[in-house]
A = this chain, B = another copy of it.
């Protein structure tokens, strides 16, 4: 009995396949030209890039990856529950600055699967093609949400100063960064390896971390350029599908008996998992 609670917690997800409104999970294969394979000493991470939301950032990042710009880079600022930031540490190594791409006006054909209105930080939250996002109540202005596991570009004080240094969020969603930083990807495989990156900051009174222990980036490559036998091919849940919308209903209403008392019928967009599966 004591072991059953987590199975129960996961039931609302699997119930999708057994209720009257059941629909099988719909999957979407990632575009290998816009997928990053990052190799760390302790594991591999796959990131879906977001050219539809941050075209200039993705274009420059892909160029830098292809140019081996990040060779010998490390994660040099890693704060538990906040971010893991990486990039070249040589002062003279940089790339052109980029105009911020933190929000956009919604094109009429851009889907938006509503999750919550109002949310704490926005009038509405939802998913756009797998990415957690937010919008105003008219659905005109949109932006990506700083959930756990997004990839975004670091910058200076001015908005248009990002160039090459990047971070992955690794804690409770720092939604106060929404719109003022450019998110340009999200982890779809290997988030536990992002979590295992060596922290570089410590609390007052604890021993400093020797820089020799900082986590290096062993390799970064676009999946399209990875030899076929080393590729990791990922599919992700189609957040525009009826099956995904039904999953949202199940998460909101929690029909499982485990919920002997039902929680408030609200959803934190950053707490809704968008599942991945590995094809190869």
A residues sitting closer than 8 Å to B (CB atoms) are 1-6, 8-9, 77, 79-81, 83, 85, 87, 94, 116, 119-122, 147-149, 154-159, 161-165, 167, 170-180, 189, 191-192, 195-196, 199, 203-206, 251, 254, 257-261, 263-264, 266, 268, 270-271, 273, 275-279
A94 — which chain B residues lie within 8 A by C-beta?
A: 2
The CA-CA distance from A257 to B157 in the complex, in Å, is 6
> What are the nearest 6 A-B pairs in CB distance?
A205-B278, A204-B277, A176-B263, A1-B156, A195-B195, A172-B271
Complex: A270 Cα to B171 Cα, angstroms? 10
Given contacts A77-B6, A164-B2, A178-B263, contact A279 B205 (CB under 8 A): yes
- 16 contacting pairs across A/B (C-beta < 8 A): A1-B161, A2-B154, A2-B155, A3-B77, A3-B154, A5-B155, A5-B156, A6-B79, A81-B149, A159-B261, A175-B263, A180-B263, A189-B203, A196-B196, A203-B278, A205-B277
The 8 Å CB contact of A259, one of B6, B80, B180, B266, is B180
State whether B163 touches A2 (Cβ < 8 A).
yes
CA of A278 to CA of B203 in the docked complex: distance in angstroms?
A: 7
List residues of chain B with CB within 8 A of the CB of A264.
Answer: 120-122, 176
The answer to whether A85 and B6 touch across the interface, beta carbons within 8 angstroms, is: yes
